[in-house]
Amino acid sequence: MKNGSVTIGVIGAGIMGERLLNAILQQDPALVRAAGIWDPSPDAMARMAKTFPDVPRLPDAAAAIAAGDCTYIASPPASHLGHARAALAAGKRVFCEKPLSVDVADARAFVAEAGGRGAVNFPFASSPAVATLRRWIEAGEIGTPRRIAIEVAFARWPRGWQVDAAGWLDRPAQGGFTREVVSHFLFLSRRFGGPLRDAQGKASFPEAGKSERRLAATLRAGDLPVTLAGAVGETTKDDHNVWLLEGDKGAVRLCDWSIAERRAADGTWQPAPDALPQEQARPLALKRQLEGVARLARGEPHHLATLAEALNVQEIVEALLAG
């Protein structure tokens, strides 16, 4: 950590790797700097050379790990733990995309090995809208929490901006909207309600070799009952979602990733005055995520999703897909 600045080596030049790399370059270099990026795809590396000409393009994963204080892993899920273990063995901290793995037993073993040396990229940990929801709840606006409801819907899967990754995102082994999207709202439910448990539900796989197209489930977040519904092809929106927390005095919800709303006395939903669409809210959340990564790399307390939280989410996701 040169002069206190944390360097981040990036593995994976897909959508998420490119997004976080871009965010790193927008921060004060006294906080974080890009150590370099590697992807096994020559086409992806050529794109990185064009998009980020000043970022070192490294020859392999080991070089990306060696170059930074912390390794950001944005490769497909089946490769996450191999890279993460290599980074930890090299004495580096790990910031990983979710899920940790699609092998729950291996993920449990990794979390036991890693201790507090890693975190997972659930951006709701840094979301301005989630912070607004928390302020409303702590101010007593909903009273005693009673239930959580999650709804997600997609015009198609993968979403339009993900078509280049359809080779794994629309396959049952690593992909699907439950792992990719629902997991975020399960993490959010855990943060507000408590550990996730008692999952029961059914995922529908109507197309051979493709990921799920429908999901209906129930579970609990701490003592709160949670209902979950997801579907592909039942909306014209590329991506629509609602996370709702209802209490005995009122309710709040998060709509389309970044719009915090509370239910007024007349039953209408009123957005927060400072609510921002996701395109404007994302850079703010990414900045705070990177502040957390810097603290993680220094071995300091942070607000990021812990490995234990991510494992709990993964256990529920894989149980629902298997059930």
pLDDT tens by residue, the chain, 323 residues: 766 899 999 999 999 999 999 999 999 999 999 999 999 999 999 999 999 999 999 999 999 999 999 999 999 999 999 999 999 999 999 999 999 998 999 999 999 999 999 999 999 999 999 999 999 999 999 999 999 999 999 999 999 889 888 889 999 999 999 999 999 999 999 999 999 999 999 999 999 999 999 999 999 999 999 999 999 999 999 999 999 999 999 999 999 999 999 999 999 999 999 999 999 999 999 999 999 999 999 999 999 999 999 999 999 999 999 98
- Its domain, for residue 81, covers 2-122+285-306
Q: Closest Cα to residue 148, out of 206, 85, 226, 76?
A: 226
Q: Please, which residues have CB within 8 angstroms of residue 301's CB and are 6 or more apart in sequence? A: 295
Output the pLDDT for position 165. Answer: 83
Say yes or no: 81 and 103 in one domain.
Answer: yes
Say yes or no: 151 and 221 in one domain.
Answer: yes
Say yes or no: 78 and 157 in one domain.
Answer: no
Yes or no: say if 68 and 1 are a contact pair by the CB < 8 Å rule.
no
Say yes or no: 164 and 95 in one domain.
Answer: no
State the amino acid at position 39 in one-letter form.
D
Q: Can you give 39-93 as a three-state secondary structure string?
A: CCCHHHHHHHHHHCCCCCECCCHHHHHHHCCEEEECCCHHHHHHHHHHHHHCCCE
Q: How far apart are the C-alpha atoms of 278 and 46, rounded to whole Å?
A: 28
Write out the two tokens for 105: 């037993």
For residue 115, being part of any structural domain is answered with yes
Query: What is the number of domains present in the chain?
Result: 2
Say yes or no: 64 and 152 in one domain.
Answer: no
Say yes or no: 101 and 138 in one domain.
Answer: no
Task: Tell me: cis bond preceding 158? Omega within 30 of 0 counts.
Answer: yes
DSSP-assigned letter for residue 160: G
Q: Closest Cα to residue 231, out of 122, 148, 152, 141?
A: 152
Q: How far apart are the C-alpha atoms of 122 and 285, rounded to whole Å?
A: 10
Residue 157's domain is classified under what CATH number? 3.30.360.10
For residue 280, being part of any structural domain is answered with no
Residue 28's domain is classified under what CATH number? 3.40.50.720
Write out the two tokens for 15: 């959508």
Q: Dihedral angle at the C-alpha atoms of 193, 198, 201, 203, nearest 10 degrees?
A: 80
pTM: 0.96
For residue 17, being part of any structural domain is answered with yes
Q: How far apart are the C-alpha atoms of 193 and 150, rounded to whole Å?
A: 13
Longest distance between any two alpha carbons in the chain, whole Å: 60
Output the pLDDT for position 323. Answer: 83
Say yes or no: 105 and 196 in one domain.
Answer: no
Yes or no: say if 51 and 18 are a contact pair by the CB < 8 Å rule.
yes
Q: How far apart are the C-alpha atoms of 209 and 230, rounded to whole Å?
A: 19
Say yes or no: 69 and 117 in one domain.
Answer: yes
Output the pLDDT for position 2. Answer: 62
Write out the two tokens for 112: 């036991």
Q: Which residues of 30-64 are buried (b: 16+ CB within 10 A; e: fewer)?
A: eebbbbbbbbeeeebbeebeeebeebbbbeebbbb
Q: How far apart are the C-alpha atoms of 321 and 316, rounded to whole Å?
A: 9
Say yes or no: 109 and 16 in one domain.
Answer: yes
Say yes or no: 243 and 95 in one domain.
Answer: no
Yes or no: say if 204 and 178 are a contact pair by the CB < 8 Å rule.
no
For residue 45, being part of any structural domain is answered with yes
Say yes or no: 70 and 188 in one domain.
Answer: no
Say yes or no: 69 and 213 in one domain.
Answer: no
State the amino acid at position 109 in one-letter form.
A
